[in-house]
Amino acid sequence: MSEIKGKIAVVTGAAGGMGQIISEKLAENGAVIVAIDTNSQVLKKCVKELQNKGYQATDFSIDISNLDAVEEVVALIESDIGSIEILVNAAGMLRLGEIDVLDKEDWDASFAVNATGVFHVSSSVSRRMIPRKSGAIITVSSNAAHMPRMAMAAYGASKAAATMFTKCMGLELAQYNIRCNVISPGSTETSMLKKLWKDEHGAQKTIEGQSEAYRVGIPLGKLGKPKDIAETVLFLVSDHASHITMHDMVIDGGATLGI
């Protein structure tokens, strides 16, 4: 898409399966990628692959739950690379545990990345976008923010917080022509999903649903792919979505039945 060519796009969680594909899709369409993740080794490899394909990409290995680190990197990007015009909050953490055994550390860690991290990066970037009266911010949430899930209270609650934060941010920033939207994936073929599978039948069980976990199957009969999310990110940050803000796009093959 020519309208994002040359635009600087910050992608958090860029070393993860979903973040990698999002970064690549934006790069393919001309965006200058600034990739952020805590996994420096994988992050550098991902950025090197983008550079080898002729794309412009830079990496910063920081923990987005650390506000000082976020502020420092965002300031550095703005001064050394250029004005941030696209932000994709794709970083995420999954900690499982039913309420009676859920560890406080897991709860705190989930919110630190999934909610507070989104706040840190979004607030820092949006302060730079406001004077320019332009920008697009996407938060990758989850359909677990829409429906209760067994053993996923920390994850679902933290993603729900990120979703509402992004909508409120969109309302406040609309006057500055900054659009803020949410993408809520369902079961998507990533390493995070595979951690939930107990055996080689995990994918099929996910598609069929699990009555004992009060979880319906996927009506479209297939798992999502990271490219499904990346294509939606590309659309929402483009001029094709110029009148869309505060929207939550659920991409789960119908698993949450449109709720």
Return the active site residues. 155
Among 96, 225, 99, 91, smallest CA distance to 162 is for 91
Encoded tokens for 244: 């869309």
* Interatomic CA distance for residues 14 and 35, integer angstroms: 5
- DSSP states along 97-158: --TTT--HHHHHHHHIIIIIHHHHHHHHHHHHHHHHT-EEEEEE--GGGTS--TT-HHHHHH
CA separation for the pair 239, 221 (Å, rounded): 32
> Do residues 237 and 138 make contact, with C-beta atoms less than 8 angstroms apart?
yes
CB 133 within 8 A of CB 179: no
